[in-house]
Structure 1
Amino acid sequence: MTTPYLTAALPTPHGFFTRAGGVSEGRFASLNCSLNGRDDPAAAIENRRRATSALGFGTLLGLVQVHGAEVAVADAPWEERPRADALVTSTPGLLLGIVTADCAPVLFSAPGVVGAAHAGWRGAVAGVLEATVDAMVGLGADPARISAAIGPCIRQPSYEVAADLRDEVLAEDADATRFFADGARPGRWWFDLAGYCAARLARRGIVAETLAADTLAEPGRFFSHRRATLAQDQPVGHQLSAIGLAPWAG
C-alpha cells in the first residue's frame, strides 16, 4: 500500500499525511505516527519510516508535544525528543514532523529555512505560531518570504466549545469574537481554530493556505481525538505532518 499525503502550495518538500498507508491495526489503523499512545511501538516506528521515505528523507525529527509555545531548533538528529510544540531547521536532510488528531498542523517554508508547529487552541493562544516565525527569522529567514499552510484539523462545524475556552481566547484578543458562532446548546460556541490560526499569522504578514479537511467529520481519512472522546473509544491515533529542506538540494 502506498503512503498518501496531502500537499499545499509550499515550495519545500512536505506532506500532511492521512491515516492510510501504514501497518497499525484496530483503532490505530493504519498510519498512526504517535510514539506516545498504546499502539505497538514497532508499528508506529514503521509508520514514521514509511512517511519519511515517502517524502524522500532518511531522518525524521519529532517532539514530545505539550500544548505550549516552545520551539526547538534542529541542526542535527537528536537522541531524545525535546518537549516543545514546534521545530525549525536550516539544515538540509532533516524532516521536521509533528503529530495531530484535531489540533492544527502548520508547516512553514522560506528560502533556506523550514518549520513545523502543533497548534491546538492553547498553543495558538500562547503564541506558538509567532514563536515559530521568530525562530525561523533567527536562522536567517526573510520574514517577507515565509509562507505557511494549515493542514487537516477539526473545523468550525465540528468544534463546539464551552465558555472556558472562549474566555481564554478572548482574554488574549477581544477581537477574536469573530471566530465563535453560537453553538447548538446554550453556553456553547462553534470555534474556528483554522481561521484563528490564519488570523494570527496574518498579523505577522503571512498569508496562510488552509487545506479543506475536517478531522472529526472524515473518519476514513483522519484520526480525531474529539470523535474518539464522543464515542468513548479511547485511545486514538495521530497523523503526521512534515516538512524539510531537500537533502538533494545544492
Structure 2
Amino acid sequence: MPVLVTTRDGGTSGPPYTGLNLGDHVGDDPEAVAANRRLLESRVGQPVRFMRQVHGARVSVVRGPGPPPEADAMVTDVPGVALAVLVADCVPVMFESPAAVGVAHAGRQGMAAGVLAATLEAFDGLGVDRAELRVTLGPAICGRCYEVPAAMRSEVGRVVPGSAGTTRAGTPSLDLRAGLRGQLAAAGVGPVTVSDMCSAESSELFSYRRDGRTGRFAGLAWLSDIRPVGIRPVGT
C-alpha cells in the first residue's frame, strides 16, 4: 500500500508554476497540467483520481477511475486506482491499511470541520479496524510560519486542541499537524508518521503563503504492490 508526496521537480509547467504542478484550478496552462498528470500516472503505474476540494469534510468512496468528486477526502478498497490530494500549505493526509486506503485535504477549515473524523467514519463503513490504519501527515506549512490573527488561533484552538502555535516572530499561529495528530490519537488509529518538512520553507514544494500564485503538489495512496517509478517520495 504505497503512499508518496510529489515535489515540484520535473513536469512541464512554466513560471510561476514551474515544475510538476498538478493543480488544474490555479491558472496554469491546462495542457501543461494535463501533461504533468499523465507523467504522474505513468510513474505511479495506474490511473490517479483527483478531487474538487472545497475546504470541507465531505468524503467520497471511490471504486475506480472517474470524474473528480466534490470532496476533501477519498477512500477506496479497490486496487488499481491511486487517490490524490492537492496541497500548497494544507496537510496532505494519507491512510493505509491492508484492506483500504485513503487521502484527505486538511487545512484550517477542513481540520476544524472534522474531515479526519469523517474519513475515519468512511473507513468504518468499509469494515476497516482503526487500529490497523497507518496515517501519514505529509509536508505542510509549519506552526513557525502559519501566522494567523489571535482571534482565529483562539477559535480554532477551542475546536482542535493542540493546534494553537506561535511563529518565530512571537505572533499567533496555527500548527495544523499538531492539531491533526491530536485528533488521530483521540480517534484510536494506528501508527502516525509526521513529516517535518514545511512547505513555506522548502523550495522543493509549492506554497501559497510564500508565493501567492503557485502550483500544487500531491499526496497519494493506492491499494497495490505497484511501486512508483522516477518519483522521489518526500517527507513520508
Q: Is the pair's TM-score, using the shorter chain for normalization, greater than 0.5?
A: yes
What pairs with 1:49-128 in structure 2 (closer than 5 Å)?
A: 49-57=38-46, 59-78=47-66, 80-128=67-115
What amino acid is the match of 1:181? T
SS at match of 1:214: coil
Deviation at 1:241, TM superposition (A): 1.1
Deviation at 1:56, TM superposition (A): 2.3
Is 1:237 aligned to residue 226 of structure 2? no
Superposed CA RMSD: 1.8
SS at match of 2:38: helix
Distance in 2 (alpha carbons) for counterparts of 1:139 and 1:94? 17
What amino acid is the match of 1:179? A
The alignment of Structure 1 onto Structure 2 pairs a total of residues equal to 226
| TM-score (normalised: structure 1) | 0.85
Distance in 2 (alpha carbons) for counterparts of 1:213 and 1:67? 22
1:216 aligns with one of 200, 204, 214: 200
Deviation at 1:81, TM superposition (A): 1.6
SS at match of 2:16: helix
Distance in 2 (alpha carbons) for counterparts of 1:169 and 1:86? 20
Contact 2:51 2:72 in 1 (8 A): yes
Higher RCO, Cα 8 Å, sep 6+: 2
Deviation at 1:193, TM superposition (A): 1.0
Contact 1:223 1:239 in 2 (8 A): yes
- 1:170: which partner in 2? 157
SS at match of 2:157: helix
Change over 3 Å in CA distance of 1:25–1:122 after alignment to 2 = same
For structure 1, the residue ranges without an aligned partner over 5 or more in a row are 1-11, 230-234
What amino acid is the match of 1:212? D
Greater displacement, 80-89 / 112-121: 80-89
| TM-score (normalised: structure 2) | 0.90
- 2:143: which partner in 1? 156
Contact 1:183 1:189 in 2 (8 A): no
SS at match of 2:122: helix
Greater displacement, 160-169 / 149-158: 160-169
- 1:24: which partner in 2? 13
Contact 2:149 2:172 in 1 (8 A): yes
- 1:199: which partner in 2? 182
Deviation at 1:138, TM superposition (A): 0.9
Give percent identity, aligned residues only: 36
Deviation at 1:94, TM superposition (A): 0.9
Deviation at 1:182, TM superposition (A): 6.6
Distance in 1 (alpha carbons) for counterparts of 2:78 and 2:148? 40
Deviation at 1:248, TM superposition (A): 6.1
